[in-house]
Structure formats: C-alpha cells, structure tokens
Structure 1
C-alpha cells in the first residue's frame, strides 16, 4: 500500500479510538458496569491495529528486517513495562516508546505503542476492558513522538544534539500526563457512584461531564501517579536519549524502514 493509504488507515483507526474513549463524556444512557462493551470494541480494533502494522512496515513486499525491528522494539517496550512495578507511576516503558517513536516516525510509533501494550497484556494475562484504552493511549504517545521527531531529529547526523533530547524529554512529560488523562476514562464512570461533585452524570453532556472528569483526574492521578510517570519518562530520555536514538537511527537505516518516504543513506564514518 502507498504512504497515503497507510496514513488514512492510521487516521481512521485513531478516529475509532476517539469515539471509544470519549463515550462517557457524551453518552445519553447509563454505562454498563459489567464492562461488556469494551471487549467488543477490542475485537474490532485488533484487526485494524494489525493492519496498520503491516502497512507501516511494508512497501511493495514485506521486508523481514523491518518486521524484525518493529517486533524487537515492541518486545523491549513490553519487557520494560513488565520490569516496571506500575505502582505509583513507575513505568519505564514510556521513555523507550518516546525515543523509538521519534526515531521511526508517527505511523510506526503508533503501531509500536499499540503492539507493545497488546504483547505485555498477553504475557501477563492483563486482557480486559481497560486494554483498548491503554493500547490507544500508548499508540498516540508513540505517534506524537514521531511527529516531534520529524521536527527535532536531523536525518543526516549519527547522533542527535542535546536540544533534540531535551525537547523529546519535554514531550515525554506532556505525554505522560495525557496518557493518565485518557486511561482514566475507562473507569471514571464507575469509580465513585452517584451524587459526588466528581461523579459521572449519564447524559450530562460535555459542559457538565468534562469539568467533573478533569477534577477527578486532578484529584486522583495528576499530582501522584502521572507526575511520577512524567519524571521517570523525562529522566530516561535525558540520560539515555542520545545513545538510544543513535542506535535506533542506524537500525532503521539497516532495516530499510521508511516512515514518510525514502530513507536517506546512513552517514559514513
């Protein structure tokens, strides 16, 4: 498939994710507390995510090196998620997801984030109604890093400058908070019951539910879990960013991967 086709597929997949994630803010009926709606969405989303992966790493014919690189990176990000306790926001997977997304581009970053979440969930039996939310949030973190990488990462240098790493660290902070915001949506409608100032109001509309949701997120995760995640992500990018990006840049050239067109030749040393 063409580059345009793969971009369209990523965009359509993201639109479906937005519709899924945003339902509590606009729903006109009471949510089902048994969570039976999310697995149906997962059945729909998995083929789209896998199709996105195939389009993103394939040109006219599948390149085994490209498939291997994306597979290895997904396994590494998943392994970092398993190594992290996840308690209190200690999740080292995000620093590698940010760096890999920046090096590989938005389409591959999107694919990598989703696949890494799916792989780690399968390894830990963590499949549940929360998984589509986590997979899409991580996919958007990777895609956003790819967009930032387009701007700050020079394609003709073996290693990025310090400024690029600092910008990616700052993006990592923003992405860590947004990841927490997005993933809170899956359980917020069921978390508090009725009658509190932070409770979900079925059919309340955006004007009523958005302020309640933002206040709930601020009270429960922004100042604690999300902040720890942001600090861990930024620290990982700042400490290991230049070395990891240099390795990923050479690996991408060696695997003949293209995110948005032909890859430039690797610089000779």
Structure 2
C-alpha cells in the first residue's frame, strides 16, 4: 500500500482546500452582478502533477506502481468510453474505489487525477470542467483508501455504501460549480426559481442550489450513478478485489526481492 509522505500530504491538503473553495465559488462570491467562475482553478493542474512527481521523487511510486497506475488508468479510460454517463450510467467509480481500497489513499488520489485526464483525452472530454472532475475523482478514490478495515461481505457492503455516498457527493460538487452557468442569474429579489442570485447570501443561495440539484440531478443522474456503482461493486467487487490484491502482493514481493 502506498502512503503519503509528509510533503505530499501537505500538497494534497493545499490542493483539496483550494479545490473546495473553487467548487463552492457561487457561495463565496457575493454582490457581483456579473457571474464569472474562477478559471484560475486550472492552475491546480500543475499542482496535481507536482503531487505525482513528489511521489516519484520520494519513492512512494516505484516502477511497479507506475505500471499498475498506467494499467488502471487505461482501464478507467475504457470504462469511461463504454459507459459515458448517459442517464447517469457509468462505471468509472467502480475501479476508482477498488483501486483506492487496495493500494491506499495516496495511490487513489493520483489514480483519480490520471484516470479522468486520460479518459478525457480518449473521449474528447477536455474542457474547463476537467480539473473539477479530476479532483472530485481523486477524492473519491482516496476516500476509499481511508475506509475502515473489513473483509468478506462486510467489506463489499461497506464499499457499496461508500459508492452510493461518493456518487451523490461527487454530483453535488460538480453541480455546485456549474450551477450559475447552467441556470443563469436571477433578478435580485425574485422568488420561485432555481437560479443563482449574486446579491443573496451564502445560506439563501445554498438552499436554492439544494432545490435545484434535487430536481435536476439527485433524483435522476446521481441516483443512477449510485445504483450502477453499488451493483457493480456488489457483483464484480469480490473478484476484482482479489485480483488487485494478488497484483499488490506480487509487486511487494518483487520489490523486496529486487532490493534485498
């Protein structure tokens, strides 16, 4: 299992804090009539690469782990291509959760970043939304590596429950950052709509956003993603977990032999 070095943990914490602020920009900006998302968030991409390079330089990712990372990222790109999210049906979270669970949160964080980046290249999905998707996927995979220990059916049930939670949380965050752009800006003081009000307070906009995401996404798209992820983990999770753990053991044994 790959672990965070102190330096990498600090970088991940900085990226995550900045990422949360960028996701929540509609709630943090107040009194601006012109809605303009903070595209400076694109600057986080180089920081994500720094995280990867930091792991390489500190030995957190050796050649074996790089090979595993490449294979899993390629698999994720294929899963993204064959289940492109139509109607919320997608299998990307399935492998992210299992990869993070077996190889740990540090590997999971890097896997989330690289998987969504490679998948975007394969599916021509590169755009200003990509850094948000990469960071969201990184959190999903890293979170799986932080889950408590379990085994057998309890572990599969735990992963399935986490998959449902992660599906809704991911959808909520992605909806939040794009909400003002999709709905437009409401007339200040107007009521009865789901649009962003730049003159309203954070609490009022949060309630409006929750109504918006409940109507447009949670009730359909996110729910289908949660169901798809939970079913895939329940049906295929045990076999894939066993395979990934065999790979992890062989990588560990090979590393011990080669350095012994």
**Which structure 2 residues correspond to residues 91-240 of structure 1 after superposition, within 5 A?**
91-148=90-147, 151-153=148-150, 160-193=151-184, 194-195=186-187, 196-240=192-236
The normalised TM-score by structure 2 is: 0.87
User: For each residue in 1:192-221, what CA deviation from the matched residue of structure 2 results, as whole angstroms up to 9, or x when unmatched?
Assistant: 232453111114232111111111000001
User: Which moves more between the two structures, 197-206 or 17-26?
Assistant: 197-206
**Contiguous gaps of at least 5 residues in structure 1:** 154-159, 258-262
Contact 2:24-2:177 within 8 A present in 1 as well: no
Q: Which runs of 5+ in 2 are unaligned?
A: none
Residues 13 and 48, structure 1, Cα contact 8 Å, conserved in 2: yes
When residues 116 and 11 of structure 1 are mapped into structure 2, their CA distance, relative to the original with a 3 A threshold, is same
Partners of 2:78 and 2:141 lie apart in 1 by 16
- Residues 58 and 236 (structure 1 numbering): CA distance in 2 closer, same or farther, change over 3 Å? farther
> 1:51 deviation in Å?
1.9
Instruction: Tell me what 2:24 maps to.
Output: 22
- When structure 1 is superposed on structure 2, of 134-143 and 213-222 the one drifting more is 134-143
Question: Could you say which structure has the higher helix fraction?
Answer: 2
User: Which residue pairs with 1:11 in the alignment?
Assistant: 13
Contact 2:175/2:213, CA 8 A, preserved across alignment: yes
Distance 2:59 2:112 in 1: 24
Q: Write out per-residue CA displacement over residues 206-255 of structure 1, whole angstroms, 9 at most, x where no aligned residue.
A: 21111111110000010101110000000011111111111112222333
Q: Residues 156-187 of structure 1, C-alpha deviation per residue, up to 9 Å, x if partnerless?
A: xxxx4111011100000010111110111232
Instruction: Name 2:65's counterpart in structure 1.
Output: 66
Q: In structure 1, what is the Cα distance between the partners aligned to 2:233 and 2:14?
A: 30
In structure 2, distance between residues paired with 1:61 and 1:95 = 24
Partner of 2:51: 52
Q: Between Structure 1 and Structure 2, how many residues are aligned?
A: 248
Change in 2 beyond 3 A, CA 1:55/1:216 = same
TM-score w.r.t. the length of structure 1 is: 0.84
Picking from 245, 248, 258, the partner of 1:252 is: 248
* Cα distance in 2 for residues equivalent to 1:239 and 1:4: 37
Greater shift, 191-200 or 105-114, is seen at 191-200
**What RMSD in Å do the two structures reach over aligned CA positions?**
2.4
SS state at 1:200 partner:
coil
SS of aligned partner of 1:119: helix
Asked whether the equivalents of residues 55 and 61 of structure 2 are also in contact (C-alpha less than 8 Å), the reply is no
